[in-house]
Structure 1
Amino acid sequence: MTLHLGAILPTSSPDPARPILGDIRAAARLAEQAGLESVWSTDHLVASSPILDSTVTLATAAAVTDRLRIGYGVLLLALRPAAWAAKQIGALQYVSGNRLLLGVGTGNPAHGDIGWRAAGASFAERGARTDEALRVLPDLVAGKPVTLADGAEVTLAPGAAVPPILVAGDGPRAKRRAAEFADGWITIAASPADVAASARELSTLAETFGRNAPAITVVAPPLAAAPRQAADQLAEYAASGAERVILAPSPAGWEASYQFAAELQRAL
């Protein structure tokens, strides 16, 4: 199996003491020059550290590249009206030439509920709202007529190619959501053994919905510092069933993490 390699754009950081904000244009260009498959933007309204808007970030990355795929890593659908999210997704597909990967999640509770309150969205109901949005999102993006939860009938124009949908989360509900609605599943810092076990679980879940098992993307895997050794570890991820690995920014700065990704790409 071919393993795709991606990197997170310097839009924020999970460590409030070390926010990582960098040049999005330079990062996207460097990723494309290095032969990486994709770059990804985190998403939130109010997080525990400064964070850029994900849609603006991805549009910027798309504008300065030609081949590189752009990904939400991950979009918090429940923060937005489903139709508005679909409009932005369709527009990104158009301006990028169908290079979008749509990661979807319900958010890290570590950020608290302030972003949800600021958006007028329910933190407690975010899982149910995500499921509701995923049921109508493909048709909204494609420009097909959709009846929303409140009975409103809407058709978005122009329609766009529906991007691959990847659902994030390690809990049972997230895995079931991935099996029911998604083309892929995203996990954080999983080992190759964890990936293999989850692949079997996802395959069983997908069968209950009459769907193929979602492909697996691993974010921030624990890799060795030496590129050759890390490349051997990536081979283990591929053998375990992973389709893609996304490298997180290094505390030494996004440039260092992108250089490491480039060395890994050459080693692969």
Structure 2
Amino acid sequence: MEIGVFLPTSAPGPGQPVAGDVRASARFAEDSGLESVWSTDHLIASAPMLDSTVALATAAAVTERLKIGYGVLLLALRPVAWAAKQISTLQQLSDGRLALGVGTGNPAHGDIGWRAAGASFEDRGRRTDEALRVLPDLVAGRASVLEDGLEVTLAPGSAMPPVLVAGTGPKAMRRAAAHGDGWIPIGLSPDEVAAGVTELAGLAAARGRTGPRATVVAPALDTDPGRAAAQLSAYAAAGAERVILAPTGAGWRPDYEFAANVRRALA
């Protein structure tokens, strides 16, 4: 069971500043033995939020082992070729440490960010599926035919990072089975994770693929590291390979110290 944490790239609420040092938090996570750091993503959210790609590049630049992840990238908010260029560059500059979480966006943020980007909020699911279809070739530097028929090749290419698809609805589950190396649910119990992993295994098998394992965001854990570690063992038995602990609002350092203590208790 691996443990990740969110970078301090968003504010706790509207009108509040983004509080946190991405460089210091990434270094602390690596020094504490945590597996990964993750960045949220949006153009205009319900609270201030830094750009995810720039934040992840910053975290990669000050670390050597730590994995960096989009948690999650809104692919449909961007032209897919631009997204592929950023993903490929970040994968190269981080020496292959990138994990590509992908989602369609939380409706709680509204559609203003989508309208500002000239993207369709209503069509975001279909556009995400189309982006995932062409993304591996684009990132790898192979010729790819975009939705409008244009053939493009991006150079230089890089190794395609693992794709982790977020969501628990029927469309999201089909997307994870078709394109995902991993699946990202939020706040599910171990029993719910086990049921989802079993469902995904069946959906993936029908496509000739292996079912993705789960990365659980914001599991409900005890505040005692030892008891929290025991709870994570249940998640591992359910088919989860990683958890990403949610911020508590107390600043990034207490959350990171708790995550490190849970990791030590697991060991």
TM-score bracket for the superposition, by shorter chain length:
over 0.9
Work out whether residues 20 and 253 of structure 1, in 8 Å CA contact, stay in contact via their aligned partners in 2. no
Q: Which moved more, 1:246-255 or 1:227-236?
A: 246-255
Work out whether residues 183 and 215 of structure 1, in 8 Å CA contact, stay in contact via their aligned partners in 2. yes
| Structure-2 separation of matches of 1:178 and 1:212 | 11
Matches within 5 A, 1:26-65: 26-65=24-63
What residue is the counterpart of 1:10 in the other structure?
Answer: 8
What residue is the counterpart of 2:161 in the other structure?
Answer: 163
What residue is the counterpart of 2:191 in the other structure?
Answer: 193
| Structure-2 separation of matches of 1:51 and 1:125 | 23
Q: Structure 1 counterpart of 2:92, which letter?
A: Y
Work out whether residues 190 and 218 of structure 1, in 8 Å CA contact, stay in contact via their aligned partners in 2. yes
Deviations 1:125-170 (A, max 9, x none): 0000000000000000000000111111100000000000000011
Q: Percent identity?
A: 68
- In structure 1, runs of 5+ residues without a counterpart are none
Q: Structure 1 counterpart of 2:54, which letter?
A: V
Q: Structure 2 counterpart of 1:264, which letter?
A: V
| Structure-2 separation of matches of 1:104 and 1:212 | 18
What residue is the counterpart of 2:237 in the other structure?
Answer: 239
Secondary structure class of the residue paired with 1:104: strand
Work out whether residues 221 and 245 of structure 1, in 8 Å CA contact, stay in contact via their aligned partners in 2. yes
| Structure-2 separation of matches of 1:211 and 1:105 | 20
| Structure-2 separation of matches of 1:181 and 1:143 | 19
Matches within 5 A, 1:99-110: 99-110=97-108
Q: TM-score, normalised on structure 1?
A: 0.97
Find the partner of 2:255 among 247, 254, 257.
257
Deviation at 1:21, TM superposition (A): 2.8
| Structure-2 separation of matches of 1:157 and 1:196 | 40
| Structure-2 separation of matches of 1:19 and 1:169 | 28
Runs (4+) of structure 1 moved beyond 2 Å? 13-21
Aligned residues: 266
Name the CA shift for 1:135/1:106 in 2 (closer, same or farther; >3 Å): same
Match status 1:21 vs 2:47: no
Q: Report the RMSD for the aligned CA atoms in angstroms.
A: 1.1
